[in-house]
Amino acid sequence: MSQHARDPQMDMSLREADPELSAAITSEALRQRDHIELIASENYTSAAVREAQGSILTNKYAEGYPGKRYYAGCEFIDDVENLARTRALQLFAGSEHVNVQPHSGASANIAAFTAAMSPGDAFVAMSLDQGGHLSHGSPVNISGKWFTPTFYGVRSDDGLIDWDAVERAVETAKPKVLIAGASAYPRLLDFERFARIAHASGAQLMVDMAHISGIVAAGLHPSPFPHADLVTTTTHKTLRGPRGGMAFARASAAATLDKSVFPGNQGGPLMHVIAAKAVAFKFALEPAFRTYMEQTLANAQTLAGALAACGFGVITGGTDTHLILCDVTPLGVTGKEATLALEAVGITINKNSIPGETRSPMVTSGVRYGTPAATTRGMGAREMEKIAQWSVDAIARRDDPAGLAHIAREVSELARTFPVPGRDATMLAEEGSR
Ligand SMILES: *Cc1c(COP(=O)(O)O)cnc(C)c1O
């Protein structure tokens, strides 16, 4: 036998091979089980998505695209990427070309930027403090360092898109690209109107539907297709897939977009993640996904109403989407204080700037709630009412440790009756409680 002594660790389970790391994952499984997740950008993946993402596909280099790879041995990899591409195009009627390789939403955005612009070029986007995203021109992000942003926002009286500001920004900046899409906007976005404004001045419309792509896929939010020239999204928010991104272009700009992703911005694609994206798209094409999305929106409306009844200042008076933006000033706290009080009872949300914000982004006057994750676990109207009540109680008792501990017990009792999807999640958590 000429076989050398192969490293026995290579066949061990994670728990055997790395108990320290394994313990951290188990703790996180317990946290996920016992807390109610209301961060609008988070969700729980299916067991099948995680199985694909944890698969042997991670072993393969596949620079290039199906049929045009730089490495040998890519025939099955091509099947994987083609499945993801076909399903993505099926999911969004009117889409013409998709690239499923971006590693994240921000990576999809920089690929779209470099497909449509050269360094220094002007673009117009929603400002971060009015609901936009870091990757839409923040001075600390490459989008703001290498390109030249002009911002629009929302009206301070009603929290809705300030169309006059959009038009003014486009007229004065003469941008190459107008971006529509936000991280903290609870109402429908009128993509047709954005497209009219962009195209009238010779700009391209880029829609970043990172938050709402699941709602669009389910037909419950107007689609950016065919109005937008470029569309980007994450795959892990409402779409409920693995952490990742994708980008769409018109057929005429397909080669430009693909070159911008690879070799422009990335090296080898994460084929295990692309496989998991394909699984998520298959799920999203099924009627059960539409039912899930309908329930997510219904839960958001119930939660918005219940929070308003508890004294939260619900921005725009409600929501058309999965997220709710609230002014917590009427409750006598800052966004930071409210978030910390809720964290102490196991309800996870984030602080958020609100229209006309007077406090710093580290403090804020508002909070953001979202229902995709809780809805995935099966929570409904009754649970939303309880969450609103617990929220206001936790804020009122924020300096009373015994009071907070009492609420935390109620929260975790409820959370445990709605298991995180997947036998693996349940088993990990059971292991951790032993
Ligand atoms: C979440 C989000 C992104 C970024 O996604 P990452 O995967 O975190 O890079 C981009 N744009 C918008 C509007 C988002 O909400």
Centroid of ligand 1 to alpha carbon of 247 (angstroms): 12
| 136 CB within 6 A, ligand 1 | no
Neighbours of 90 (CB within 10 A): 14
Secondary structure (3-state) at 23:
helix
Average pLDDT rounded to a whole number, residues 221-238 = 98
Pairing of the two strands 366-370 and 230-234: unpaired
Dump pLDDT digits (tens) for 284-296: 999 999 999 999 9
Distance between Cα 176 and ligand 1 center (Å): 21
Average pLDDT over residues 122-128: 97
What type of residue is 193?
R
Residues of the chain with CATH 3.90.1150.10: 290-432
Does 408 contact ligand 1 (Cβ within 6 A)? Answer: no
Interatomic CA distance for residues 399 and 346, integer angstroms = 16
Verify whether ligand 1 is closer than 6 Å to residue 208 (CB atom). Answer: yes
* Residues with catalytic roles: 61, 63, 208, 234, 237, 243
Q: What is the pLDDT of residues 368-389, one digit of tens each?
A: 999 999 999 999 999 999 999 9
CA-182 nearest atom, ligand 1 = 13
Which of helix, strand or coil describes residue 395? Answer: helix
The CATH H-level superfamily of 290-432 is Aspartate Aminotransferase, domain 1 (3.90.1150.10)
**C-beta of 111 in contact with ligand 1 (< 6 A):** no
What sign does the CA torsion over 126, 129, 135, 139 have? positive
Q: How far is the CA of 105 from the centre of ligand 1 (A)?
A: 4
Domain with CATH 3.40.640.10 in the chain: 53-284
Q: How far is it between the farthest Cα atoms of the chain?
A: 80
Residues in the chain: 434
Mean pLDDT across 219-237: 98
pLDDT of residue 423: 84
Give pLDDT, residue 1.
Answer: 57
Sheet of strand 313-314, all strands in order from the earlier edge strand to the far edge: 313-314, 323-327, 366-370, 350-352
- Does residue 429 surpass a pLDDT of 90? no
On whether the CB atoms of residues 35 and 411 are closer than 8 A, the answer is yes
Q: Are 212 and 184 in contact (CB under 8 A)?
A: no
**pLDDT band per the 50, 70, 90 thresholds, residue 2:** low
Q: Which two tokens stand for residue 433?
A: 């409680």
Architecture of the 53-284 domain: 3-Layer(aba) Sandwich (3.40)
Q: How far apart are CA 389 and CA 343, in angstroms?
A: 15
Q: What does the DSSP 8-state code read for residue 172?
A: H
Type of residue found at 119: P
Average pLDDT of span 80-90: 98
Torsion sign, CA atoms 360, 363, 366, 370: positive
Per-residue pLDDT reduced to its tens digit, 303-336: 999 999 999 999 999 999 999 999 999 999 999 9
pLDDT at residue 3, rounded to an integer: 79
Closest protein CA for atom 2 of ligand 1: 210
The residue nearest atom 5 of ligand 1, judged by CA position, is 105
State whether the beta carbon of 143 lies less than 6 angstroms from ligand 1.
no
Give the residue-averaged pLDDT of 175-202.
Answer: 98
